[in-house]
Amino acid sequence: MSHRGTTDFADKSSTDEIRERFDQDVERFSNLETGQAAAIDSPLAMELITEAAVASTPKIERVLDVGCGAGNNTLKLRALYGQPFDCDLLDLSRPMLDRAEQRLRDTGVGEIQLWHTDIREADLPENAFDVILAAAVLHHLRDDSDWHHVFSKLFRLLKPGGSFWITDLVIHETSAVDQMMWDRYGDYLIELGGEAYRDKVFAYIDKEDTPRPVTYQLDLLRQVGFEQVELLHKRSCFAAFGAVKANS
């Protein structure tokens, strides 16, 4: 039985369990061309959120990458922006952080600061970031208060005029549509690696993840203070979207 849309979080992975899995998975997240292969349209989503960040935020001096993994999204942003910027990399996994730092230093970014912690607990400076990226990470949030706390926090961390961009796994508000979309995602995974691969991916999603609908998250962005909200792309159970903080 799937626990993707559950409100009972007792059987979900703890933060430590999630950290342990990602500590062992650095290589899979280190390919800039494929991104995360199990995510549909991962390279396109990465391209869209970084292009939207550049288009919406003319002056980028400091970037926060939440759940940075091996650094793909900040690397893509650096290449598109064409100029150095300081970057704060946050991840539960120390091996991921070390790989991201190494890769970004090779591209000539500015100052790099590492945050080996959970976004819910990180003591980050408010009104400090021009761009915040969160790729395939927010689906680890649990109840409504958790989601509201993190979205409110990220709003406060942005400078006026800054932008916040997300790519993530999503569910759907209508059960029939949700089942249809997960069936389509299952077909994609079978094409990618066979039925055993599909079952493996679905098993760790059911164990680790509590995604929310993209509609829920767009509404939440507005609730916490964003006035300009954008849906960039959605296909099956994956979406790219974000918001821009008003200048005043």
Cα separation, 21 vs 198, in Å, equals 18
Ramachandran region of residue 35, left (φ > 0), alpha (ψ -120 to 50) or beta?
A: left
Rounded to 5 degrees, φ, ψ at 82 are 80, 0
DSSP string covering 148-191:
HHHHHHHHHHEEEEEEEEEEEE---SSHHHHHHHHHHHHHHHHH
Phi-psi region of 59 (alpha: psi -120 to 50; beta: other; left: phi over 0): beta
What is the homologous superfamily of the domain 15-172+211-244 according to CATH?
Vaccinia Virus protein VP39 (3.40.50.150)
How crowded is the C-beta side of 157, counted as CA atoms within 13 Å?
Answer: 24
Which residue's structure tokens are 């006026």? 160
Burial class (CB in 10 A: 0-12, 13-18, 19+), 21: middle
Domain spans, the chain: 15-172+211-244
CA 39 → CA 96, 97, 120, 229, distances in Å?
Answer: 18, 21, 24, 23
Residue-by-residue pLDDT tens, the chain, 248 positions:
344 555 556 665 566 555 555 545 544 544 545 456 788 999 999 999 999 999 999 899 999 999 999 999 999 999 999 999 999 999 999 999 999 999 999 888 999 999 999 999 999 999 999 999 999 999 999 999 999 999 999 999 999 999 999 999 999 999 999 999 999 999 999 999 999 999 999 998 888 899 999 999 999 999 999 999 999 999 999 999 999 999 97
**Distance between CA 132 and CA 155 in Å, rounded?**
9
